[in-house]
């Protein structure tokens, strides 16, 4: 019923309720006078139609305004629970739900699933030097560049603070490295405007890939990517670290990626 009311809108629903009220009032009045075997005078018919024509639109509009306001507030609450208000990426819990679904499909279809952990380098220094408003701009700029580097089927989330995470379904090692390097270079080459100045920031990325023959849950897969991220930061930042298959930390250009992906990310 609520969905029908929303589709009709306040005006359409008000007109429908008014028409139904007028018809109902006339039907009830006629039935009563027929039962009494008495003819309803003209003034009675006028009152029968005038009352719902005056009362129904006013009451309907007020009630519908409250109903639509409650609906908007509920939608806003759902959005706040699902999406990060600053970056519009998924919050942690909804992101993990998506990852669980992707992991189930990857295991069932025997396909790879890659996960990227992304962290803004020296973010505390950005906040301390330029203020939290600039820090928020950096978070928004990085999240936008991450989204622009992904396919529609990919999922990105904000895990908290300056940490982001990305799930790449149907993506093996080579494709994941390519995406990670695209994100890294894109952020490095896109300075953030601060008045007349330009702030350059970089990110470190940890990468892990699930293959169908592995007995891994989503928490373990994310933990692998997080460990790779730590290695990336320990080795100098602004670089990619790959868990398991590649033990050293370097840029994607220096990693041998030929033949590693079951289905390259495009």
The catalytic residue positions are 162
Q: Is residue 240 within 8 Å of 183, Cβ to Cβ?
A: no
Q: Give the residue from 149, 170, 173 showing the smallest Cα distance to 224.
A: 173
Cα dist. 90→18, 82, 99, 150, 228 in Å?
43, 6, 11, 14, 22
Instruction: Outline where 110-214 has alpha helix (H).
Output: 123-130, 132-148, 173-188
Q: How are beta strands 203-210 and 240-242 bridged, if at all?
A: parallel
Q: How are beta strands 155-160 and 197-199 bridged, if at all?
A: unpaired
156 strand-pairing partners: 166
């Amino acid at each position: 019923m609520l969905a029908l009311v929303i589709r009709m809108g306040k005006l359409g629903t008000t007109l429908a309720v008014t028409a139904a009220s007028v018809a109902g009032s006339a039907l009830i009045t006629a039935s009563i006078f027929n039962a009494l075997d008495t003819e309803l005078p003209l003034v009675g018919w006028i009152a029968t139609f005038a009352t719902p024509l005056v009362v129904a639109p006013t009451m309907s509009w007020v009630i519908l305004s409250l109903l639509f306001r409650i609906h908007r507030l509920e939608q806003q609450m759902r959005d706040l629970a699902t999406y990060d208000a600053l970056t519009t990426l998924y919050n942690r819990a909804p992101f993990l739900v998506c990852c669980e679904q992707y992991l189930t499909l990857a295991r069932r279809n025997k396909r790879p699933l890659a996960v990227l952990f992304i962290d803004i380098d020296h973010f505390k220094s950005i906040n301390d030097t330029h203020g939290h408003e600039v820090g928020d701009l950096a978070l928004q700029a990085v999240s936008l560049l991450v989204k622009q580097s992904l396919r529609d089927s990919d999922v990105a989330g904000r895990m908290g603070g300056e940490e982001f995470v990305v799930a790449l379904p149907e993506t093996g090692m080579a494709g994941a490295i390519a995406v990670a390097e695209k994100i890294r270079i894109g952020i490095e080459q896109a300075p953030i405007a601060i008045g007349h100045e330009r702030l350059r920031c970089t990110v470190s990325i940890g990468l892990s890939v699930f293959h169908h023959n592995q007995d891994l849950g989503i928490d373990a897969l994310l933990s692998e990517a997080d460990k790779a991220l730590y290695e990336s930061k320990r080795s100098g930042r602004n670089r990619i670290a790959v868990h398991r298959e590649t033990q050293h930390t370097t840029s994607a250009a220096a990693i041998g990626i030929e033949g590693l992906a079951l289905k390259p990310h495009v």
